Structure 1
């Protein structure tokens, strides 16, 4: 069985590789615009991946999505304390 786009149907509670890559960057505190630039995708694609991931994991918002993903082992539990990219401050976050 496939969807109208020729893909297999989604299994509730699972994320695609694309959704996980986007979610990991967001969990590191990067703004959507930075995530889009680093993954060489559009901001719309970032927003769409987060929307699909929230729907798949039944999350109320992105913070809830990150918490669920960590709780299910989809993201490492120390993700929030790891630096996103050494030497490159995130846009919108001044260095101290």
Structure 2
């Protein structure tokens, strides 16, 4: 996870917490968290990066809509990150 941007890490968490969200679903969720509009030019290249790193799988719902799903590798990365955070943050 050390080579991901904070934005990419946040996208990974959003995708992990949803059941095959569309790009628009991810956008809506991340905009709510950031309390800011996220344009397509920022969202989709970052989603593609996660796909290219095999952290997220991308499928097609229909001709215009893709869905995203956390991969086993992505899930392991999140688990490793949470274990690392737990060493430093006691909540």
In the superposition, the TM-score normalised over structure 2's length comes to: 0.48
Structure with more helix by fraction: 2
| Larger Rg over CA atoms | 1
In the superposition, the TM-score normalised over structure 1's length comes to: 0.46
